Homo-oligomer: A and B are copies of this chain.
C-alpha cells in the first residue's frame, strides 16, 4: 500500500448503527449490513467511524484481538469494499481527501522519492467553499479539504517541479512543515490525481475552464446536486416572464399570418437541406424592418403564457428547459430599411422593439467585432445579440444551468437559420462575442444578464 502514512476514517455522513448483533453502515442511498461481526471487526468499524488510524494500526488491532493474519486479511477485504464504495476518507494532520462517488479507486502508484519530481496538475484549483479551503480537479473523483496554511504553502511550492529533497530544503526554514508532512501530502495529492502527469494528445487539448465546466455540468465524477433543485424557491423571487420596458420609444413590429404561411411556406425538408451560412449581403436592398419582424415572430415570440404556482411560464417556437425561457434578443441595427441604426430590445410578448441606444462607437464596435470574427466579409446589416437573464434559469436549475442556456442558444440559432432560409435572408451564427462590451453599452449588470450568443443577418445577394 502506498498510503501507510495516511489515516483512514468513514465519511462523516455514513451512519454506523448497532442493531441487535449486527452493524449497519448507511449512506443516503445504500445500506451495508455486517451480520454478527466478530468483536475485532466491530471494534475496527467503530474506530473507522470515530477516529483516524492508519491501515497498519487498524490491522494490528484486528490481528491481536482476533485470530491473527486471517482476521487481518478479512478486515482488509472489507476495507477495500468500503473504499470502493467511496466511504473512506484519507487524512493527514493538514488535509483530508473525501471521495465524491461510488466505484471509487484511489490512484495507487509507487513513488520514487529519490528521483521523482512533483508538480500540481494544471487542472487542480484551490478555492473557498462554505468556509472551507478545497483543492478540487475535474480529473479527480475526490476533493481535498486543506485544513490550514501548510497545505496551501506546499501547493505554492508545487507550482514548479520539485523533488522531495528540494521541497525539504526550500521549506526547512518554515516551522510546522516537516519531511513527514511533505511526504504525506504528496501521497494524498498523488492518490487523488491532483499531481501533473504526462498528458496524451486528448488531455493536452483541454483548457482548464472547459474541463472544469464539462465535469461539473454533467453527472459523473462528483456528488454535487444536478438538475431542477429549486434551491432559491423560497429565498429569491423568480425574475419576471419578460423584462420591464427598456425605454419609452416603442416600435410595433410586423406580424405575419401564420395560417397563410403554414400553407405556403417551403417544406421542412427543403429548409433543412438548403440552409447555409451566408455572410455577404445585397447592399442595394438591405433587409427590411418587416422581414426582421416576421423572423422574430416566427422564431421567438411568446405564443402562450401559463400561470403556475412557480410563476409565469410560456410557450415559444423553440424548446426551453422547464419552459422558463431566459433568452432575450437585442437587434443591433447597422442598416435595415425602415428603422434607424442603433440598439433595440425585442419584447416577445408584445412583439415590439424598444429603442435602447442610437448608433455610436460602442454599438459600431459590436458590429465590427461580428464582422471580424466571421471572416471579414460584409458587416452584418443586423446583428442579433442574444442574452440570458441568468436568474430565470438559475432559480430552478443547479449545476447544468449554464450548459442548458447554451443549448437553448443553439435551438434558437437553428430556428433563425431555417426561417431566414425560408425567407430568403442571409443568416450566420457567430462563435462568440464580448459580454463586457454589451454590459458597457446597455448598462445591464453582467451577473444579471449578459450576452451568450450572436447571430448575423442581411439581405441575400
Contact = CB atoms under 8 A, between A and B. Distances in A.
24 contacts: A119-B128, A125-B126, A126-B152, A126-B155, A131-B159, A150-B153, A152-B152, A202-B390, A205-B395, A207-B399, A209-B217, A219-B433, A220-B436, A265-B270, A268-B418, A269-B298, A272-B418, A277-B319, A318-B414, A321-B431, A400-B431, A407-B409, A407-B453, A411-B417
Nearest to A432: B400
A48 interface: no
Interface in A162-192: 171, 173-176
Interface string A223-247: 0001110001000100000000000
A218 B156 contact: no
Contact of A435 (B124, B159, B219, B261): B219
Contact of A125 (B127, B394, B406): B127
A341 to B, nearest CB: 22
Contact of A227 (B210, B212, B400, B432): B432
A8 interface: no
A311 to B, nearest CB: 15
A266 interface: yes
Task: Determine which residue in A122, A152, A397 has the highest number of CB atoms from chain B within 10 A of its CB, and name it.
Answer: A152
A204 interface: yes
A247 B450 CA distance: 45
A205 B128 contact: no
A373 B159 contact: no
Given A131-B160, A156-B146, A173-B175, A275 B319 contact: yes
A152 B174 CA distance: 14
Interface string A398-439: 111111101111111111011100100000010111111101
B262 A269 contact: yes
- A171, A204, A317, A402 — which one has the most chain B CB atoms within 10 A of its CB? A402
A214 B414 contact: no
Q: How many copies does the complex hold?
A: 2
Nearest to A211: B447
Interface of A: 101, 119-122, 124-129, 131-133, 146, 148-160, 171, 173-176, 196, 200-221, 226-228, 232, 236, 258, 261-273, 275, 277, 298-299, 317-319, 321, 369, 373, 390-391, 394-395, 397-404, 406-415, 417-419, 422, 429, 431-437, 439, 445, 447-448, 450-453
Given A262-B267, A319-B275, A156 B148 contact: yes
Given A406-B407, A407-B429, A414-B319, A219 B437 contact: yes
Nearest to A236: B201
Across the A-B interface, the 10 shortest Cβ-Cβ residue pairs: A410-B410, A220-B436, A152-B156, A406-B406, A149-B153, A133-B159, A210-B402, A414-B414, A205-B394, A219-B434
A108 B391 CA distance: 29
B265 A413 contact: no
Contacts of A417: 319, 411
A202 to B, nearest CB: 4
Nearest to A392: B205
Given A262-B267, A410-B413, A435 B212 contact: no
A271 B319 CA distance: 13
A219 B432 contact: yes
Nearest to A422: B268
A218 B120 contact: no
Nearest to A94: B156
Contact of A408 (B158, B410, B447): B410
A401 B210 contact: yes
Given A175-B173, A403-B406, A317 B273 contact: yes
Contacts of A209: 212-213, 216-217, 399, 402
A201 B265 CA distance: 45
B202 A445 contact: yes
Residue of A269, A369, A403, A404 with most partner-chain B CB within 10 A = A269
Contact of A221 (B120, B121, B436): B436
Contacts of A437: 219-220
Given A397-B431, A407-B453, A433-B218, A391 B227 contact: no
